[in-house]
A and B are shown apart, each in its own frame.
Chain A
Amino acid sequence: EIVMTQSPATLSVSPGERATLSCRASQSVSSNLAWYQQKPGQAPRLLSYGAYTRATGIPARFSGSGSGTEFTLTISSLQSEDFAVYYCQQYNNWPLTFGGGTKVEIK
């Protein structure tokens, strides 16, 4: 099983600042990596897939990068609606696995 490790667990950021979230895979997943955003009481929402392709309707301030075992989600200028929990997920191998999540909170 591929283990996905996200860091940090919690990120405190002021509105308008940049946020950088990391995701590391225990073995290569090529570019088969997705990012999701989840707000309290809501289902996860797909932000990006293929490591860097933004999903439909996702603002350009969200950008994904990386390949192999190291991935990053960058939110260039945090808006109030961006405070949430973010998960990475690999779909290169079964079982599919998610990271433990990074909570982005208001500083």
Chain B
Amino acid sequence: EVQLEESGGGLVQPGRSLRLSCAASGFTFDDYAMHWVRQAPGKGLEWVSGISWNSGNIGYADSVRGRFTISRDNAKTSLYLQMNSLRAEDTALYYCAKVLPMILVSGAFDIWGQGTMVTVSS
């Protein structure tokens, strides 16, 4: 079964850091680009960051560029999001998502995890 499982969320004070992880299983992880998408409570979906299969192509939303870093470990079939200088507006459910087409860095997201909640508050 194709599966993504996020972890690492929690309550953190403004200005602090958190590292999210996404464990993938059931598919050839290093054939696909991966992305992070977040959803603030009661709000819509917001793309955060994406990374190509070989980490050669990386992108960020303006709202997180310079503070967040996406990475992957294909040997461990895992995706990561290092979040620094966290702000209250980063409070959201963070999903990892798999891109549908092989090799391409962008595409529709056909597999999503269940998300991990990040709350930034003092």
Chain A nearest CB, measured from B57 CB (Å): 9
Q: A36–B112 Cα gap in the complex (Å)?
A: 11
Selected interface stretch from B9-17, B41-49, B70-78: B41-49
Assess the A43–B113 pair: CB atoms within 8 A: yes
Chain B nearest CB, measured from A97 CB (Å): 7
Assess the A100–B110 pair: CB atoms within 8 A: no
Chain A nearest CB, measured from B122 CB (Å): 28
Interface size of B in residues (CB-CB distance below 8 Å): 21
Q: Chain A contact residues (Cβ within 8 angstroms of B): what range? A: 20 to 34
Selected interface stretch from A19-27, A67-75, A88-96: A88-96
Please give me the residue from chain A that is nearest to B114 by CB atom.
A43
Given A34-B108, A46-B100, A46-B108, A101:B44 Cβ within 8 A: yes
- Asked if A1 is an interface residue, CB under 8 A from chain B, the answer is yes
Assess the A100–B44 pair: CB atoms within 8 A: yes
- Asked if B27 is an interface residue, CB under 8 A from chain A, the answer is no
Q: A92–B104 Cα gap in the complex (Å)?
A: 12
Assess the A34–B109 pair: CB atoms within 8 A: yes
Assess the B45–A98 pair: CB atoms within 8 A: yes
Chain B nearest CB, measured from A52 CB (Å): 12
- Asked if A62 is an interface residue, CB under 8 A from chain B, the answer is no
Assess the A96–B106 pair: CB atoms within 8 A: yes
Not counting A89-B109, A98-B44, A99-B44, a sample of 20 additional A-B residue pairs whose C-beta atoms are within 8 angstroms of each other reads A1-B62, A32-B106, A34-B109, A36-B45, A44-B45, A46-B100, A46-B109, A46-B110, A49-B107, A49-B108, A55-B110, A56-B110, A91-B107, A95-B59, A95-B62, A96-B47, A96-B50, A98-B46, A98-B47, A101-B45
